[in-house]
Structure formats: C-alpha cells, structure tokens
C-alpha cells in the first residue's frame, strides 16, 4: 500500500464536514495558487489517514461527519491510496464523498472512474483549464485529452459531476468558454458548469489580470446558451451555486495539533510559498491592493441569477434575503429586503416571504413548519441547523441565504 503526503485536514465551522488536503500534483499550472502543489506534509497510508481523520473529527465535532472532500494538490496520483481512502470513508458512514481533481489520471488510466464509483465516490469536481490543446499544454504542461476523456467517463457514470473553469482574460475567455460549453452540451446539456474568476494576487505567475464583472457576465451569457446549469461563482467550494462566506475554519495537522485559521492565515501561507517564485514585496503589495478581491467576489454572487429588485431608501438597515435559482419562478428576483421591527425569528421571516410570494413559496420551501430537506438556510454565513433552526433570532442588517440542493442551484 502506497503513502500520500497529507498537509492537513480542514473542518468546517458552518456544518460538520472534513477536507483532506493532499500534496503533490502532475500539473504545473502557471497561475496555481495552492502551496500543496509542491509537496510537503506527512506521508501516511490510507488507513493512517482515516484513523487521524476520525480522531480529529471526534475531538472537534464529537462525531464523524457525513460529508468529505478530497482535494490537493492532485488527489488521484496514487490510485490504490485514493481507492482505499474512498472505500474507508464509505465504510465509516460518509454519505457524500467528493473528489476535487484535474481529471488527468482519471482519463489516462483505464477503469479508474469505475473503480472510484464502486469504492463509494459520490461526486467529482473536475477543473478543465482550457479546451484548446495548445492553451492547455502551455498553461499546465500537459495535454487536455485525458481530462476530456475523464469528463466523458464521469458523465456516463453514476458519480455526480461538476466541471469548473477559471476565467483568465486573454487566455481562457469568451472563445474558450464557448468551446467548452459546446463540448459539454454534446455530452449532456445538464452538466453543472461553474466559471470562477482568476485572482492574480497569489498566482504562481501573474499570467493575466483579474476579470471584470462585465467579463464574467458575458462568460455566463455565452455558457448559458448551451448549458442551463452554467453559473458564475465567487469560490471553488463544493456548494452549488455558491456558498455563504466562511470567515474562519479549523485546521488539523497530521500530528493532530489544531489551529483556527482565517483568510489572513491562508494568505500568509501563500506569501511564504510564493517567496521562491516572486519577490515577496510584490506579492504583499498585491495583497494590500486587492485583499482577496472581496469586492469583485461579492458582486459575482447572483450574476447567473435574475436581476435585483429596485430598492427604496430605508431609514434602518433591512434584512437581505437571497434566493436560489430554483425559486426564481416564484420570486421573480434573486434577492429581496424585509424591514424588521426589532428581533424576529427565521420562522417568522419565512411567513413574511409566504405573504410576499404566496402559498407556492410555502409549498416549495416549508414542510410542517420546518425548512424542507431540499433547502439549506444560512444566516450571516452560518447554517441555521447549527444554530436554533427556524427559532433562530434575526435582526436587521443581516443576510439570509436560501440554498437549494437540487440540480441547477
């Protein structure tokens, strides 16, 4: 049994779930932002990895989660290790096991996808860097033919598939996005396709600039002509279409030491990593200028949804409610605002939304006074399941996000 280097586990503070950050990669992407690409970490067998994961989760959550994400680096480099890891997660009761991959090995090695499905993999996120072979080779150092074969194999399997592309102005922009969308539509027009913005701040090489909101809007318009499940997202997390913001998370290292980390901690990791590639002073200058592109990323939420309602001036800060695309047939908008008279509860907010959008909203979202299982509700980034459910108190100047877990967001 082979070993893989584990950099750390990440435990979510929004709801119980665990990420495995494996190091090493078979691509050498010019715009890579992951220190895990270049190695490091602690070499463990799959059994040792699972044992430490279990201890980490029991120590923090008091239980084993049902959701796991395997990322890196590139998780598929050691086939036997990955198959053992996925099988072990399934045997430990994990219901969702998500692989985040560049897809190369899955398309190059016969039966890899089938064996992962047999082992218990439920979902795969594939990064398609470019459709044009010359662009892909220039950017990654590898052909994209195995990646395209992997997408075909995953689409034909029982594994849920999501493909994402980084929009890079002048490199992977409108023309490439259209080629990708046409290819996916030829396989399955319902493939979930997510377009993320390139962030130059922590890129290994500053191959291009960050895209504008207008460029991202145009990319969505092109992709959505072919793919009804195309979206724009501000992140590469697993939620579809886009998750609520998470300000901090729990990092557990292989020796089981624990640290609560935030964006600045992650920034420092990347600053240190980039020190051997780019002058640290230039990276720090980019960091202070862009601060992780918060303004751009926030404005990206909802590009792939309907336009905002016209808002009236209010004397006090209202409650902002964001709707998933699955509810737009009822709401006719991607977000609305509610004036609150003091503190209220999530349940009362839902009743206000029923008054505003009719009984159809109640039928879609509410079941016996509770939120239906097909929806998750987040208050200021926290899943209300981890608060007090529909009894959670809400005040003005807050944000409520309703996310749908059905296909299409």
- Bigger pLDDT: 310 or 78? 78
Contact 330, 358 (CB under 8 A): yes
Domains of the chain listed by start with CATH number:
4-300 (3.20.20.70), 319-404 (3.10.20.30)
Instruction: Please give the Cα distance from 394 to 44 (Å, whole number).
Output: 45
The residues, ordered by sequence, that sit 6+ positions from 129 with a Cβ below 8 Å of its Cβ are 27, 29, 102, 135, 136, 139, 140, 144, 147, 165, 166, 172
In tens, the pLDDT along 10-55 reads 998 778 899 999 999 999 999 888 887 888 899 999 999 999 999 9
Average confidence score pLDDT of the chain:
84
Taking residues 80-99, what's their average pLDDT? 97
What pLDDT shows up at residue 210?
86
**Of 83, 72, 77, 86, whose CA–CA distance to 36 is shortest?**
72
DSSP β-bridge partners for residue 319: 338
- Bigger pLDDT: 290 or 153? 153
Instruction: Please give the Cα distance from 20 to 7 (Å, whole number).
Output: 8
Question: In this structure, what are the phi and psi dihedrals at residue 61, rounded to the nearest 5 degrees?
Answer: -90, -25
What pLDDT shows up at residue 143?
97
**Of 5, 91, 101, whose CA–CA distance to 48 is shortest?**
5
Contact 304, 227 (CB under 8 A): no
Percent of the chain with pLDDT over 70: 81
What pLDDT shows up at residue 128?
98
């Amino acid at each position: 049994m082979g070993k893989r280097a584990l950099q750390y586990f990440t435990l979510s503070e929004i709801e119980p779930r665990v990420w495995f950050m494996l190091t090493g990669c078979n691509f050498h992407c010019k715009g890579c932002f992951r220190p895990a690409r270049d190695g490091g970490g602690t070499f463990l067998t799959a059994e040792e990895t699972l044992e430490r994961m279990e201890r980490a989760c029991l120590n923090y959550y008091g239980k084993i989660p049902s959701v796991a994400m395997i990322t890196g680096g590139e998780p598929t480099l050691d086939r036997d290790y990955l198959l053992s890891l996925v099988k072990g997660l399934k045997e430990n009761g994990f219901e969702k096991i998500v692989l985040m991959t560049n897809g190369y090995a899955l398309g190059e090695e016969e039966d890899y996808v089938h064996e992962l499905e047999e082992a218990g993999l439920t979902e795969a996120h594939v990064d398609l860097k470019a459709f044009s072979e010359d662009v892909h080779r220039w950017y990654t150092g590898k052909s994209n033919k195995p990646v395209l074969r992997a997408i075909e194999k995953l689409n034909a399997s029982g594994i849920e598939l999501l493909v994402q592309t980084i929009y890079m102005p002048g490199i992977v922009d409108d023309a490439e996005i259209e080629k990708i969308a046409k290819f996916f539509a030829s396989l399955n027009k319902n493939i979930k396709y997510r377009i993320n913005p390139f962030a130059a701040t922590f890129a290994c090489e500053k191959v291009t600039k960050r895209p504008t909101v207008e460029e991202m809007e145009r990319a969505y318009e092109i992709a959505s002509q072919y793919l009804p499940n195309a979206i724009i997202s501000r992140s590469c997390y697993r939620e579809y279409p886009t998750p609520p913001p998470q300000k901090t998370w729990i990092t557990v290292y292989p020796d089981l030491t624990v640290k609560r980390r935030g964006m600045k901690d992650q920034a420092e990791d990347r600053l240190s990593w980039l020190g051997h590639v780019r002058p640290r002073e230039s990276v720090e200058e980019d960091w202070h200028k862009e601060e992780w592109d918060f303004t751009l990323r926030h404005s990206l939420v909802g590009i792939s949804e309907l336009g905002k309602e016209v808002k009236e001036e209010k004397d006090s800060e209202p409650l902002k409610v964001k709707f998933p695309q699955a509810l737009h047939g009822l709401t006719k908008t991607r977000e609305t605002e509610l004036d609150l008279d003091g503190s209220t509860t999530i349940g009362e907010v839902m009743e206000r939304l029923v008054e505003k959008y009719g009984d159809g909203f109640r039928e879609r979202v509410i079941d016996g006074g509770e939120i239906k299982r097909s929806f998750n509700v987040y208050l200021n980034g926290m899943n209300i399941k981890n608060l007090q459910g529909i009894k959670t108190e809400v005040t003005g100047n807050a944000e409520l996000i309703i996310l749908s877990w059905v296909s299409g967001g």
